[in-house]
Amino acid sequence: MKNILTAPFITEMKEITANMYRLGWDERNGGNISYMLDESVVGEYLDLNNVIRTIPTGFVAKSLIGKIFIVTGTGKYFRNVQSDPETNLGIIRIAQDGTTAELLWGYADGGKFTSELPAHLMSHMARLSVDPENRVVIHCHPTHTLAMNFVHTLDEKEFTHTLWEMCTECIVVFPDGVGVLPWMLCGNNTIGEATAKKMEEFRLVVWGMHGIYGAGKTIDETFGLIETVEKAAQIYMLTCNMPRINTIKDSEMQELAEAFGVTYRKDFLNL
């Protein structure tokens, strides 16, 4: 059996959590990540028959039965993942009842997965129904995106349109736009259900006055989606109180999307 600490998915989680903490997107124990793993790959590092303990998830995830995820722990700081992954991360498998997580590795101090796990599982189910290659869900609190929530309408067409105007790459990187939810109490199934509904249309969902959820095929892709939104939001916050002399026109955004061959939300443009 290979050393689990050398596994590529552990390395990815260590690197992404350290980077997101450094960027200020995941203060204290803010933010969480879940990453669906390939059973055959995990089997090179762990005995999949050795269940350390079981933990109720608080949600019925029948379509995810047997699926394995690496998930950040509740109350854990992203900055500590790199030095102590076995305490701050856990590898779980959704048990046959669909409501229990079988712990295969991690949470070494007796902890458990993030309190947002039901929202993550719901988002995974929604994204897998749209794109079976989607494996990653990231939730974080990017500073400028969050600041934009307080000074911009929380209408997803208007919010997306403004972001698209900020950087030439935006409509190419997230042509499906950004879903937006109003402020909701976090850590419960209600916000998870609302997020999952949006994830049927969008890979990015803003939680009003809270943060953002992103989904993608890989850690890099998902991080890149959020990173691009955050850069656009930063440019908006730097310029929103100044007279705008130049902008990217809707016809130019359409030209961009069609030149790069992406399927974009035409209803989010004013043509």
pLDDT digits (tens, 9 = 90+) for 242-266: 999 999 999 999 999 999 999 999 9
DSSP 85-125: HHHHEEEEEE-TTSSEEEEEEE-TTS--B-TTHHHHHHHHH
Domain check: are 242 and 142 in the same one?
yes
Helix (H, G, I), strand (E, B) or coil at 147: helix
Domain check: are 128 and 71 in the same one?
no
Domain check: are 100 and 169 in the same one?
no
What pLDDT was estimated at residue 67? 98
Domain boundary among 69, 91, 115: 115
Mean pLDDT in residue range 66-84: 97
Domain check: are 111 and 209 in the same one?
no
Mean pLDDT in residue range 210-232: 98
Residue 166's domain comprises: 117-271
Q: Is 28 left (phi over 0), alpha (psi -120 to 50) or beta?
A: left
Domain of 207, CATH number, reads 3.40.225.10
Domain boundary among 73, 97, 115: 115
Catalytic residues: 116
Question: In angstroms, rounded to a whole number, what is the distance separating the alpha carbons of residues 177 and 180?
Answer: 10
What is the phi/psi pair of residue 234, to 5°?
A: -65, -45
What pLDDT was estimated at residue 175? 98
* β partners of residue 105: 91
Query: Over 90: is that where the pLDDT of 188 sits?
Result: no
Domain check: are 161 and 85 in the same one?
no
Cβ contacts of 226 within 8 Å, gap of 6 or more: 25, 138, 140, 142, 145, 204, 212, 214
Cβ contacts of 58 within 8 Å, gap of 6 or more: 99, 117, 118, 189
Domain check: are 133 and 176 in the same one?
yes
Domain check: are 63 and 9 in the same one?
yes
Domain check: are 1 and 26 in the same one?
yes
What pLDDT was estimated at residue 187? 80
Give per-residue pLDDT as tens, 108-146: 999 999 999 999 999 999 999 999 999 999 999 999 999
* β partners of residue 49: none
Q: What is the mean pLDDT of the chain?
A: 97
- CB–CB of 83/30 below 8 Å? no
- For 109, what's the count of Cα atoms within 13 Å in the CB-facing half-sphere? 11
Domain check: are 190 and 106 in the same one?
no
Domain check: are 68 and 152 in the same one?
no
Residue 161's CB is within 10 A of a number of other CB atoms, namely 19
Total-model pTM = 0.96
Helix (H, G, I), strand (E, B) or coil at 54: strand
Percent of the chain exceeding pLDDT 90 equals: 97
What pLDDT was estimated at residue 58? 87
Give per-residue pLDDT as tens, 54-64: 999 988 999 99
Domain boundary among 72, 94, 115: 115
What pLDDT was estimated at residue 72? 98
- Residue 213, token pair as written in the block: 């959820």
What pLDDT was estimated at residue 186? 87
Q: Provide the pLDDT confidence category of residue 197 given band limits of 50, 70 and 90.
A: very high
Number of structural domains found in the chain: 2
Question: In angstroms, rounded to a whole number, what is the distance separating the alpha carbons of residues 184 and 234?
Answer: 24
Domain check: are 107 and 122 in the same one?
no
